Amino acid sequence: MKRLALLLAVLLVALHPLPAHGETVSLIKIDGAIGPATADYITRGIRQANVRGAQCLVIQLDTPGGLLESTKEIVQALFASPVPTVVYVAPSGATAASAGCFITLAANVAAMAPDTTIGAAHPVELGAGGGEQKPDETMKLKLENYAVSYMEMISSKRHRNIEWAKSSVKESASIPSAKALELKVIDLSAADLADLLAKLDGREVNGRKLKTAGASIVEIPMSWRELAFQKLWTPEVMFILMLVAMYGVIGELSNPGVILPGVLGSIALVLALYMSATLPVNIAGLALMGLAVALFIIDVYAPTHGVLTAGGIVAFLIGSLMLFDHADPAFRLSLGAVIPATIVTAAFFVFVVGKGWRAQRLPAKLGKETMLGKTAKAVTPIDSNAGQVLVDGEYWNAVSDSPVEPGRPVDITAVHGLTLSVTPK
């Protein structure tokens, strides 16, 4: 048995040879907008790469931009990283725009694949979820100056082309990978990950010589929490939550006691408010959407032949377009989301809420409530104790504070079980 076990071990080694050395490189992939989930992912990746003793952490990047606050968190994490960091803009066709430009230049080593671009770092939002209105010219200038100085600091620390880095902010300059290498914006160009590791081998970073040639690549995937936040932490999801909150709360008010719409609406409202703390919401857009809802409701109670409803539709459409209008392009609502939402919202208030509220205000057509206000005919003498009337072909007991002689018409003022209170006409 011992010989058999030894033979099996030899066969396993022959079939799965061990690597020549135990060097590893950690890899994380960022594909999409930069947000809170991205910042958490990169921070965790740095921590895990350090614990595993990786030669470096490669951040494969393809992003159209993102939130300024999250970008600052990532830059701080890259500066404080105990493990060398490499931002690799890839694959071909990828871009490191806006926030991605800051992140690329903040790494220890900046690399790009052929046919990729970097730049367009001009600031377009006031940070994550400040809830600010669209900035005026003074605020724009302050924000631009801050971004320029921040980019200058990053480029100076990493010894990269400071003048181009500043122009990427001031003039939204954007260049391809070949030009970026020529201008010393990045450190190297690599066709793929294997080529990247080969070119990183022997490079000294923070007094440490990298041993990456032939190293094993260990990818650190996003956790389920980070993945969920990355997919859900978007303007589209917040917009949908706002609609659900609006429909749910209004639905509960128009149909008290249903409970479910109110519960769902309240949950959606809390989540939308929580997301607004990190997403760049425009207060003016939010106010216009609130005005639209008010106009819809007022038109239900005081019909204006659709004038207020039409105004509400216009206000809702403009408010939706303005809701994230000063945000990074990666965090703006598209017409494909805004127009259907406007149509659905208008239909919801016109055909669902409006019809429901108007139905509640119609006079009753069934039950004892339909008797009130009707005219009946006294069949027998009626006093405060007894009597009878004929109503819609039916005989009812009746009482009256004033005596009523037979044959006299009376008005029904109240219903008490099977007895009517009447007054002579």
The answer to whether 228 touches 208, Cβ cutoff 8 Å, is no
Which region among 57-61, 136-140, 195-199, 278-282 has the lowest average model confidence (pLDDT)?
Answer: 136-140
Work out the average pLDDT over 269-290: 81
pLDDT tens readout for residues 180-236: 999 999 999 999 999 999 999 999 998 889 999 989 999 999 999 888 887 777 788
pLDDT of residue 248: 82
pLDDT above 70: residue 9: no
pLDDT of residue 8: 53
pLDDT tens readout for residues 311-355: 888 888 888 888 876 555 666 777 778 888 888 877 777 666 555
Using alpha carbons, select from 424, 419, 393 the residue that is nearest to residue 407: 424
pLDDT of residue 119: 93
Which region among 69-78, 107-116, 327-336 has the lowest average model confidence (pLDDT)?
Answer: 327-336
pLDDT of residue 412: 85
The residue assigned the tokens 């070949």 is 178
308 versus 53: the higher-pLDDT residue is 53
Cα–Cα dist 247/340, whole Å? 15
**Where are any strands of DSSP class E within 70-123?**
85-89, 95-97, 109-112, 117-119
The answer to whether 195 touches 141, Cβ cutoff 8 Å, is no
364 versus 333: the higher-pLDDT residue is 333
With both helix axes pointing from N to C terminus, report the angle between 283-301 and 235-254 in degrees, rounded to the nearest 10: 20
Measuring CA to CA, how many Å separate 129 from each of 132, 273, 280, 326, 327?
A: 8, 10, 4, 11, 10
With both helix axes pointing from N to C terminus, report the angle between 99-106 and 162-170 in degrees, rounded to the nearest 10: 170
Contacts of 26 (CB under 8 A, 6+ apart): 45, 48, 49, 52, 54, 56, 57, 58, 83, 218, 219, 220
Confidence of residue 305 (pLDDT cuts 50, 70, 90): low
The residue assigned the tokens 């921590």 is 47
pLDDT above 70: residue 126: no
pTM over cut 0.95:
no
The answer to whether 97 touches 174, Cβ cutoff 8 Å, is yes
Cα–Cα dist 289/302, whole Å? 20
State the CB neighbour count (10 A cutoff) for residue 402.
11
Using alpha carbons, select from 30, 26, 50 the residue that is nearest to residue 40: 30
Confidence of residue 127 (pLDDT cuts 50, 70, 90): very low
Q: Which of 134-148, 339-353, 393-407 has the highest mean pLDDT?
A: 393-407
pLDDT above 70: residue 397: yes
Cα–Cα dist 117/60, whole Å? 14
Cα–Cα dist 423/402, whole Å? 7
pLDDT of residue 152: 95
pLDDT above 50: residue 12: no
The answer to whether 355 touches 372, Cβ cutoff 8 Å, is no
156 versus 276: the higher-pLDDT residue is 156
State the CB neighbour count (10 A cutoff) for residue 233.
21
Using alpha carbons, select from 304, 290, 300 the residue that is nearest to residue 253: 300
User: How many whole angstroms from its chain centre is CA 113?
Assistant: 31
pLDDT of residue 11: 47
Q: Across the strands, what pairs with 216?
A: 24
pLDDT over 70, % of the chain: 81
Which region among 82-86, 94-98, 239-243 has the lowest average model confidence (pLDDT)?
Answer: 239-243
176 versus 369: the higher-pLDDT residue is 176
Q: Given CA atoms 66, 72, 78, 82 in this order, what sign does their dihedral have?
A: negative
Sheet holding 174-176, edge to edge: 95-97, 117-119, 174-176
pLDDT of residue 143: 81
Which region among 13-22, 83-92, 119-128, 374-383 has the lowest average model confidence (pLDDT)?
Answer: 13-22
pLDDT tens readout for residues 412-422: 888 887 888 88
pLDDT above 90: residue 28: yes
Structural domains in the chain plus CATH codes:
19-226 (3.90.226.10), 234-356 (no CATH), 370-424 (2.40.50.140)
Q: Regarding beta strands 419-424 and 394-399, do their DSSP bridges make them parallel or antiparallel, or are they unpaired?
A: parallel
